[in-house]
Structure 1
Amino acid sequence: MSLILEKLSVKESNPVNKAQGKPDTVEKKGSPLLVVNNLSVRFRMYEKGLKQRELEVISHLDVTIHKGEILAVVGSSGSGKSLLAHAILGILPANATMAGTLNYDEEPLTPKRQKKLRGHEIALVPQSVSYLDPLMRVDKQVRGEKGTQEQQRKVFERFALKEEAGQKFPFQLSGGMARRVLVATAVLSDAKLIIADEPTPGLNPEIAEETMRIFRELADQGCGVMLITHDIDLALKYADRIAVFYAGTTVEVTPVENFLQGGDALRHPYSRALWHALPQNGFNPISGSQPYAGSIHTGCRFAPRCEWISGECAGEVPMRRVGDCEVRCVHAS
């Protein structure tokens, strides 16, 4: 816990580049902390009475998070971002089956290990405030098993939470306060891997920026941060790499500089479409919509909306290295 105290007590522990929100001197990316390879998630569903079917919602998903980095995971709703978080933590519902490999800190992340590390070395900032225990006062939830009142006071101060907020129950908090409490709980968990699932909606801009600065500080101290977000602009200021999801799989993982530049710096056509859809880049949508999981077949999932479509897109399209990024497209160069 002393490491967390050091991070929390020094607000300006690193000189920050105001244009990007990142330290002027960024440490070299560390070794892989989490490696997800060829992940698939299926749900057992009932249709037409007692007839069962397996609905695949994630397939061939690959992603790596290194020590000391923030990986921002972006994509439209339903692309598999939150499901990936739940798969890593081992909290998928009972009707889900998972295939592929998960490795954490160079060892298999088995269900037994997930249970041991969850809430300790691997912390979740959930999307829903319903994850807070409704029968426990806020201060006890933030401190957890090892935290102290002094540590809680400091983290409350950073998130603009008053001392009396700790004596309240979750239902007595506003939505923004409850979300700040969720982030504070993860910060004090002493985690090596933080999975933040939409941590900033409902926060005013100042608190959202402070939240991201704290994640940046944790990463600079060696933690790995997976930031699942729709706020791409905020993510671009603090993340190291961007992982773009589409229809349950990874289509591109690229350095944040490429996403800032846009155009040819992005290799996948969906990444380019996502960049052009941002307000500052013209707010230009493309026709069509992301396919529903039950309608997905073999081949490139983006092909029906892609101007590059060819016969090659109907076959298997693995992730491959192109320049400084990884991309799932046979035409990327």
Structure 2
Amino acid sequence: MSILEVQNLSISFQQYTSGLKQKTTRVISSLDISLNEGEILAVVGSSGSGKSLLAHAILGILPDHAILSGTITYDGERLTPARQAALRGKEIALIPQSVTYLDPLMRVGAQVRTAVRNGDAAEKQRRVFEQYQLDPAVEKLFPFQLSGGMARRVLVSMAMVSGARVLIADEPTPGLDPAVMKEALRYFRELADSGAAVMLITHDIDSATQIADKIAVFYAGSTVEVAPVKDFEESGERLRHPYSRALWRALPQNDFVPIPGSQPKPGSLPEGCTFAPRCEHAVAACASVQPEMRELRGGMVRCVHAT
């Protein structure tokens, strides 16, 4: 059952250039995802494709000068700013990309305990620290006394003890050693198997294929494909979008074939298909009109040529 849906999300930022002159910069053109209870949706794409902005939009923590269009619904109801504030950290929890989200003036054990909504907070904090190989003495430390990997494990711990129905993990594994990373990924899988909905934002497609049910591929502020994880195998011939196939083939363990060109910068997004300038299948119409997301072979794709 779908618990979180994002449809045709667009994000722009209004900025002052000189004096009182303003300009509006569009950085996200069309993001579409659907997250179901009991599943992990991995969101992959290069830097600047819109992955973290999507997480911040869902939680309602974008800066004041952000302009949004499109719809975000949670449990069948539209997410308003007031509803986002009420759900944030409770039913929808974030493992942020930056460790600066920790309160610098509060000891980390106390921070984790504040995230517990039900049960013995001290016991849950102790158990989750043990699970992520954090020494009991760490709970008395302040964030500035932690290494980067330790701080990231504290952030993961806060989300894990929250009991949230939706967990958004924004690049949760950098800085973790392989054993702890494997344990964190396994726990995400256990959370989903127990009924939670998990969105894993990552550059690491290998990690995504190990635990995800579906993978959404972002490019230049748009969702170009959502595919079952089983389609990310062999040479990627079951993938629907040219960028998804190119991204898969560019991995060292696959063909290691680079994609010519570069992703357009935010503020310089093309009017039509965002991948058209780099696509060998592009025709004139691709440069003028952005395709709609459509169902195809058990997935979703934004491409008129996909079959």
Q: TM-score, normalised by structure 2?
A: 0.97
* Distance apart, 1:62 and its partner CA: 0.7
Identity level (%) = 62
Q: Could you say what secondary structure the match of 1:260 adopts?
A: coil
Kindly state the Cα deviation for residue 296 of structure 1 after the two structures are TM-superposed: 1.5
Equivalent position to 2:39, from 69, 84, 88: 69
Q: CA contact under 8 A between 2:27 and 2:269: conserved in structure 1? A: no
> Is structure 2 residue 105 aligned with structure 1 residue 135?
yes
Deviation string 1:116-167 (CA, Å, 9 cap, x unpaired) is 0001100000000000000001111111153521111111111001100001
The answer to whether the 8 A contact 2:13-2:26 is kept is: yes
| 8 Å CA contact retained: 2:6, 2:33 | yes
* CA distance in 1: counterparts of 2:61 and 2:133, whole angstroms: 31
List aligned pairs for 1:1-333, cutoff 5 A: 31-144=1-114, 146=117, 148-314=121-287, 315-333=289-307
Per-residue deviation, 1:284: 1.3
| Displacement of 1:295 | 1.5
1:247 touches 1:291 (CA, 8 Å); kept in 2?
Answer: yes
Counterpart of 1:326 in structure 2: which amino acid?
Answer: M
SS in 1 for 2:64: coil
Question: C-alpha distance in 2, partners of 1:294/1:183?
Answer: 33
Contact 2:185 2:211 in 1 (8 A): yes
Structure 1: runs of 5+ lacking an equivalent: 1-30
User: What secondary structure is seen at the aligned counterpart in 2 of 1:281?
Assistant: coil
Q: How far does residue 46 in structure 1 lie from its aligned partner after superposition?
A: 2.0
Structure 2 runs not aligned, ≥5 long: none
**Deviation of residue 48 (structure 1)?**
3.8
3-state SS of the aligned residue for 1:263? Answer: coil
Output the CA distance in 1 between the equivalents of 2:13 and 2:133. Answer: 41
Misfit runs of 4+, over 6 Å: none
Structure 1 counterpart SS, 2:26: strand
Deviations 1:186-213 (A, max 9, x none): 0001100000000000100000010011
What is the SS of the residue equivalent to 1:300? coil
Paired letter, 1:210: E
CA RMSD of aligned residues (A): 1.0
Q: Give the conservation status (yes or no) of the 8 Å contact 2:235–2:254.
A: no
Question: Conserved in 1, the CA contact under 8 Å of 2:225 and 2:300?
Answer: yes
Aligned residues of 1:73 and 1:229 also touching (Cα < 8 A): yes
Indicate the residue corresponding to 1:24 in structure 2: none
Instruction: Name the aligned partner's letter for residue 66 of structure 1.
Output: N
State how far apart, in whole Å, the 2-side matches of 1:283 and 1:162 are: 41
Contact 1:312-1:330 at 8 Å conserved across structures: no
TM-score by length of 1: 0.89
Q: CA deviation at 1:97?
A: 1.1
Q: Check whether the contact 2:231–2:238 (CA below 8 A) recurs between aligned residues.
A: yes
